[in-house]
């Protein structure tokens, strides 16, 4: 339907608490999800949250088979998750590099829970419950942070591992620079 503008860090709309979705299987909701996928794919993203296109709803999408922005990442199933709830399954945390379409050109190391259960509903109101780990768990935590107004640089603790993608990863595909 449409590739939408992605809000960039500094825009106060990225700092809001998103509202739960209350109406499922509506034309408006399906149109929003198509726009999210069109926008994510145009930017080669691994995930996108509705607040990043200025829609303050608890809607995230993520998933890919191969991703130029994260060439070593394992496949993550294509998912639309509404009204998400995350529960860590252990205290174990893992560090990993993250980028964000709202923070173009930069990467940083962020500590995330290694294993978690996420639940919520799909666009038809059907319940989703999954237990995941590794990169899948990382992507979910990153995207759901957008629903509480948190961008990954707010979670960076070691700024010696935060910088420009082109400097940190000189060989990476140019399409991964945003
Ligand atoms: Ni992001």
Calculate how far, in angstroms, residue 34's C-alpha sits from the geometric centre of ligand 1: 18
Question: What does pLDDT average to over the chain?
Answer: 95
pLDDT at 66 over 80: yes
Calculate how far, in angstroms, residue 153's C-alpha sits from the geometric centre of ligand 1: 10
C-beta separation of 112 from 141 below 8 A: yes
Q: Which residues surround ligand 1, an ion (CB under 5 A)?
A: 100
SS3 137: helix
pLDDT at 175 over 60: no
Q: Residue 120: what pLDDT? A: 98
Tell me the average pLDDT across 36-49.
97
pLDDT at 178 over 50: no
pLDDT at 168 over 60: yes
Which of the four pLDDT bands, split at 50, 70 and 90, describes residue 171?
confident
Active site residue 131: no
Edge-to-edge strand list for the sheet holding 93-98? 93-98, 106-113, 162-164
C-beta separation of 103 from 9 below 8 A: yes
Q: Residue 73: what pLDDT? A: 87
Which regions of 27-74 does DSSP assign to beta strands (E)? 47-49, 59-64
How far is residue 97 from each of residues 29, 66, 80, 119, 147, measured CA to CA in Å? 31, 17, 23, 24, 20
Q: Residue 70: what pLDDT? A: 84
Among residues 87, 94, 131, 143, the one annotated as catalytic is 143
Q: Residue 173: what pLDDT? A: 63
**Tokens representing 36?**
């999210």
Q: Residue 69: what pLDDT? A: 83
> 69: burial class by Cβ within 10 Å (0-12, 13-18, 19+)?
buried
Calculate how far, in angstroms, residue 102's C-alpha sits from the geometric centre of ligand 1: 6
Calculate how far, in angstroms, residue 143's C-alpha sits from the geometric centre of ligand 1: 6
96-140 pLDDT per residue, tens: 999 999 999 999 999 999 999 999 999 999 999 999 999 999 999
């Amino acid at each position: 339907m449409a590739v939408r503008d992605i809000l960039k860090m500094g825009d106060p709309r990225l700092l809001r608490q998103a509202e739960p979705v209350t109406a499922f299987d509506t034309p408006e909701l399906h149109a929003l999800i198509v726009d999210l996928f069109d926008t994510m794919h145009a930017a080669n993203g691994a995930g996108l949250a509705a607040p990043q296109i200025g829609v303050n709803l608890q809607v995230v999408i993520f998933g890919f088979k191969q991703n130029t922005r994260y060439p070593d990442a394992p496949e993550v199933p294509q998912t639309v998750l509404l009204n998400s709830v995350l529960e860590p399954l252990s205290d174990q945390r893992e560090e990993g590099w993250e980028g964000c379409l709202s923070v173009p050109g930069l990467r940083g190391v962020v500590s995330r829970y290694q294993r978690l259960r996420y639940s919520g509903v799909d666009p038809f109101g059907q319940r989703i419950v999954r237990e995941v780990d590794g990169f899948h768990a990382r992507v979910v935590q990153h995207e759901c942070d957008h629903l509480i107004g948190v961008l990954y640089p707010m979670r960076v603790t070691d700024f010696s591992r935060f910088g420009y993608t082109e400097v940190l990863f000189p060989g990476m595909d140019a399409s991964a620079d945003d």
